[in-house]
Amino acid sequence: MQVQAPTMIGRARAETDSVQGFDGLAPCWPGRRHVLDLDDFAPGEIVQVLGTAATMKEILQRPIKKVPTLRGKTIVTMFYESSTRTRVSFEVAAKVLGADAVNVAAPTSSATKGESLINTVQTLQAIGADIVVMRHPQSGAPWLVAPRVHAAVINAGDGWHAHPTQALLDVFTIHEHLGRVRGVRVTIVGDVLHSRVARSNIWALTKLGAEVTVCGPPTLLPRDWLLEPSRLPWAVRVCERLDEALDGADVVMALRLQRERQHGGLIPSVREYSHLYGLTTERLRQADSSAIVMHPGPMNEGVEIAPDVAHGPRSVIEAQVTNGVAVRMSLLYLLFGGEAALERSD
Amino acid sequence: MQAARIRIANGRILDPSQELDERGDVVIENDRIVGVHWASGHAPASSPAERVVDAESLVVAPGFVDLHCHLREPGLEYKETIATGTRAAAAGGFTTVCCMPNTEPTLDTASDIEWIHAVAHRDAVVRVYPIGAITKGRLGIELAELADMGRAGAVAFSDDGNPVRSGKLLRNALSYARITGRPVVDHCEDHDLVDGGVMHEGSVSSRLGLRGAPAESEEAAIARDLALAQAVGGRLHLAHVSTAHSIELVRDAKARGTRVTAEVTPHHLVLTHAWVAGFEEGVTRYDTNCRVNPPLRTEEDRVALIRGVADGTIDAIATDHAPHDVVDKNCEFDRAAPGISGLETAFGLLMRLVAPTNGDPALPLATIVRALTMGASRAFNLDLGTLRVGALADLVLLDPDAHWTVDVQRFHSKGKNSPLDGQDLRGIVRLTMVGGKIVHEVPR
Ligand SMILES: [Zn+2]
């Protein structure tokens, strides 16, 4: 069902229809309540989000960055794990669209019992939140919240599981720089086992026809991906050696390495990890000469990525941050698209 | 008032201990079975003084014996009590339950065992046989007084919930327990390998981003235990075996003559890790009611467990009934207490194996009943699980074709933690009798 859209979004839709590089994947937005994971997104829905994001990005470049589409709506950000970058990105997106953004300070101690999450949810109900943006260190926490609130829930990262908006902004950035997604060879390097960014990117990229390779030491790759790749829900190449993984890549995405992995016995040392898997100018010669380099941030420069790569000509890391706001505006708008249309018809 | 003489008339008598599967009557006087008559034998005319229970189209089987359940009393009565847990057992067709000692305090002395017997005498509606701890406080440091507990009526020894980490200590327990004639029950899990895993390590854990407990965390522990039991000639019983390779290890050990028995749970026979992903209809993703230890495994594991029951590698089906309060489950998956409230759904769940629609190897009802009765009884050396003349009148009437919908709010157990809530099951326990006394009855 297509919603009748107000002027601004009318343009968003028009541009979406003509978005290049999706090989005929028609944008669609059947309407959804929550954004918890990308595994249940139809390819057309992702195209819709990206197309709408392109219009949002244009709005962000206007002198007066303000559209009243979500006026009167309350967006609550609730971060059980600190991430200034993601939280601020959502808050800016909300404010540009005219919504009120409220940050609920959430206890971040790992000793805090789950009960407190349920209690916080009740607070959200009392506030009258329309959208809850949540980050939580436990995989699946948004599934605990979503059925218990009237609000729409957007997962801003849960444990090792999913980070849908990061993946959408990554795909948007790839499309922006390469002009297409289908057939693009994307290599994701690093601690894939513990990475929600990798998981969500794999869903988004494979749904749009990209060819994904993941690479890391075997102790930081899910065992079943390594040993039984034929049983995975998507076709992803799994590599233990970086040179092999980089061969011909159009996009190289480095993941953050947590220093705890050394103490957890998963790698001998950060030094050796960096030696084997760190992205350096030298290594990137394996990749396509026009390959772009991405990182979800925050970076450990000198560990998973050399400073000259992070800030070099191939890096699109800054663009990722800018695009994050546009993509989040797009999602917020689409989640309330139906209601925005109603406001206009009044 | 119960009639002193009861005739269960015209049922399908299914008693693996006598290799009996015939239509006929079972006659009970006071607490004993006094007659089993089938069509080819001669059933004496019913006397006017007896009560007749019509068992037409029902299965008459020995009462089920659960080798593994958690009644939570003493100390955790907010989760379950001996009164509520045994009522749940009766509803599930279990006439005997063996309760695990991971209570507060731990059941690790003869007086604890006597206390359970005393409370059971007062509150229980089915037989309660306590299992004593292997080590004091289940801490894995010093042996508990096994012989003393055995004399007080402990039917087995287990630190369930914890494995016995020290191989030396388990070896000593297996050796020392020989004087009690009672098995040592190990919850096989190498905690180092589990490394905080909250579900089976595999395609679902890697998809859901949950920390996985690998199959080898169980298999390595089982391999060690089998070597120790073989070495000292002790009686080892393996709790809740859950992987395909574990089954192979047990099969090989039995072939070598190791004195080992093993159990599986109904949930490991029917559910898989896919339930955690919410792929099953009516199941939500990250449902903490699917968090259980050992975790729900893969389809290959599940099929291997079914084959293990079919060929006798697995001796018993035991529920590992683990009731929890809602606060223990109403939280993030990682933080939820592991366990499924299983007594009341066991039979209905197992019936899914009798006429599988999904290509599973079929498990005949007689095989399931054997594992729930004679198989279980022999594993713990109990004189139960039979309809022989002279035996205690512990029996069930099963209605294998009747459908029902699981509603956890109607459980007798305090533990409403079941992933099966709302599921349609086939197979109802119509009547449960313990020592000639009807303790549960569902009219047709
Ligand atoms: Zn256990």
Q: What is the mean pLDDT of residues B353-380?
A: 92
Residue B287 has pLDDT above 60, yes or no: yes
Instruction: Give which of B192, B194, B205, B206 to mutate to test A binding, by max A Cβ within 10 Å.
Output: B206
Catalytically annotated residues of B? 320
pLDDT, residue A340, reads 47
pLDDT of B426 strictly over 60: yes
Task: State the pLDDT at residue A26.
Answer: 83
Counting residues of chain B whose pLDDT is more than 90, the rounded percentage is 92
Which residue out of A224, A232, A238 would a mutagenesis test of the B interface target, given it has the greatest number of B Cβ atoms within 10 Å?
Answer: A224
- The answer to whether B208 contacts A193, with C-beta atoms less than 8 Å apart, is no
Residue of chain A whose alpha carbon sits nearest to that of B288: A144
A232 vs B contacts (CB less than 8 Å)? 203
CB A253 within 8 A of CB A185: no
Span B242-266, mean pLDDT? 97
pLDDT class of A345 with cuts at 50, 70, 90: very low
Query: Mind listing the pLDDT tens digit for each residue in A26-68?
Result: 888 888 899 999 999 999 999 999 999 999 999 999 888 788 8
Q: Which of B208, B214, B331 is the closest to A139 by Cβ?
A: B208
Question: Which residues of A are less than 8 Å from B210 in CB distance?
Answer: 139-140, 159-161
Position B31 scores a pLDDT of: 95
**CA closest to A197 among chain B residues:** B209
Centroid of ligand 1 to alpha carbon of B161 (angstroms): 5
Indicate yes or no: CB of A114 within 8 angstroms of CB of B336.
yes
pLDDT of the residue at A123: 80
Q: Is the pLDDT of residue B32 over 90?
A: yes
Distance from CA of A281 to the nearest CA of B (A): 32
Residue B137, CA distances (Å) to A55, B101, B102, B116, B238 in order: 65, 9, 9, 16, 20
Q: Given an 8 Å threshold on Cβ–Cβ distance, is B330 in contact with A118? A: yes
Range B124-147 average pLDDT: 98
Interface test with B, best of A37, A115, A144, A234 (most B CBs within 10 A): A144
Tell me the chain A residues in contact with residue B335 when contact means C-beta distances shorter than 8 Å: 113-114, 138
Mutate to test the interface with A, among B332, B334, B335 (most CBs of A within 10 A): B332
Cα dihedral B222, B227, B231, B233, rounded to 10, equals 30
Nearest CA in chain B to A203: B207
pLDDT at A7: 39
**pLDDT band of A4, cuts 50, 70, 90:** very low
Tokens of B182: 């009672």
Instruction: Name the strands in the sheet holding A211-215, side by side, starting at the edge strand that comes first in the sequence.
Output: A236-239, A211-215, A185-189, A251-254, A292-294
CB-based contacts of A136, cutoff 8 Å, min separation 6 = A80, A81, A117, A142, A157, A158, A159, B332
Task: State how far the Cα of B440 lies from the Cα of B276, in Å rounded to an integer.
Answer: 33
Taking 80 as the threshold, does the pLDDT of residue A113 lie above it? no
Query: How many angstroms separate the first and last alpha carbons of chain A?
Result: 20
Q: B188 CA distance to ligand 1 centroid (A)?
A: 8
Contact status, residue B155 vs residue B182, Cβ threshold 8 Å: yes
Share of chain B above pLDDT 70, in %: 97
pLDDT at residue B343 in the model: 98
CB < 8 Å to B284, chain A: 143, 147
pLDDT of residue B41: 56
pTM: 0.92
Predicted pLDDT of residue B44: 62
Across the interface, whether the CB atoms of B203 and A138 are under 8 A apart is answered no
| Residue range B256-277, pLDDT digits in tens | 999 999 999 999 999 999 999 9
Domains defined for chain B, CATH in brackets:
65-385+402-423 (3.20.20.140)
Nearest Cα to B4, choosing from B25, B37, B34, B36?
A: B34
**CB of A129 closer than 8 Å to CB of A332:** no
User: According to the model, what pLDDT value does residue B430 have?
Assistant: 98
Average pLDDT over chain A, rounded to an integer: 87
What pLDDT is recorded for position A156? Answer: 97
* Beta-carbon separation of A138 and B334 below 8 A: yes
Torsion, CA B223, CA B229, CA B230, CA B234, rounded to 10: -160
Q: B298 phi and psi, to 5 degrees?
A: -90, 170
B332, A114: Cβ pair inside 8 Å? yes
User: pLDDT per residue over B322-356, tens digit each?
Assistant: 999 999 999 999 999 999 999 999 999 999 999 88
Mean pLDDT of chain B: 95
In B, minimum Cα distance to A160 occurs at B209
Distance from CA of A20 to the nearest CA of B (A): 31
For the cut 90, the answer to whether the pLDDT of residue A196 exceeds it is yes
What is the helix (H) or strand (E) element at residue A202, kind and residue range? Answer: helix A196-207
List the alpha helices (DSSP H) in B74-196. Answer: 82-91, 110-123, 146-152, 167-176, 191-194
* pLDDT (tens digit per residue) in A264-308: 899 999 999 999 999 999 999 988 889 999 999 999 999 999 999
d(CA B244, CA B272): 13
Peptide bond before residue B266 is cis, with ω within 30 degrees of 0:
no
Q: Which of A238 and A30 is assigned the larger pLDDT?
A: A238
What pLDDT does residue B410 have? 97
Least CB–CB distance from B332: residue in A138, A196, A222? A138
CB contact under 8 Å between A144 and B332, yes or no, is yes
Query: What is the residue whose two structure tokens read 């026009």?
Result: A290
Distance B202 CA to ligand 1 centre (A): 21
Q: A66-84, pLDDT tens digit by residue?
A: 888 888 999 999 999 888 8
pLDDT higher than threshold 50 for residue A3: no
Q: Residue A98 class from Cβ within 10 Å (0-12 exposed, 13-18 middle, 19+ buried)?
A: middle
Q: Which is nearest to B51 in space by CA: B437, B439, B442, B419?
A: B437
Q: Smallest CA–CA separation between B115 and chain A, in Å?
A: 34
Segment B399-426 shows an average pLDDT of: 97
pLDDT cut 90: percent of chain A above it: 67
Comparing B8-22, B33-47, B154-168, B398-412, which segment has the lowest mean pLDDT? B33-47
pLDDT category of residue A20 using cuts at 50, 70 and 90: low
The count of C-alpha atoms lying within 13 angstroms of the C-alpha of B6, restricted to the half-sphere facing its C-beta, is: 22
pLDDT band at A201 (very low <50, low <70, confident <90, very high): very high
| pLDDT above 80 (res A1) | no
Q: How many CB atoms lie within 10 A of CB A33?
A: 11
Contact B332 A225 (CB under 8 A): no
Section B310-325 average pLDDT: 98
Residues in chain B closer than 8 A to A113 (CB atoms): 331, 335
Mean pLDDT of B151-179: 96
pLDDT at A261: 86
The nearest CA of chain B is from the CA of A229 a distance in Å of 10
More confident residue, A106 or A232: A232
Mean pLDDT calculated for residue range B199-226:
97
**Rounded to a whole number, what is the distance in Å from the CA of B311 to chain A's nearest CA?**
29
Q: Taking residues A177-201, report their average pLDDT.
A: 97
* Mean pLDDT in residue range A317-338: 91
Mean pLDDT over B362-380 rounds to 97
B366: helix, coil or strand?
Answer: helix
Model confidence at B413, in pLDDT bands (50, 70, 90)?
Answer: very high
Q: How far is the CA of B360 from the centre of ligand 1 (A)?
A: 26
Are A161 and B333 a contacting pair at CB < 8 A?
no
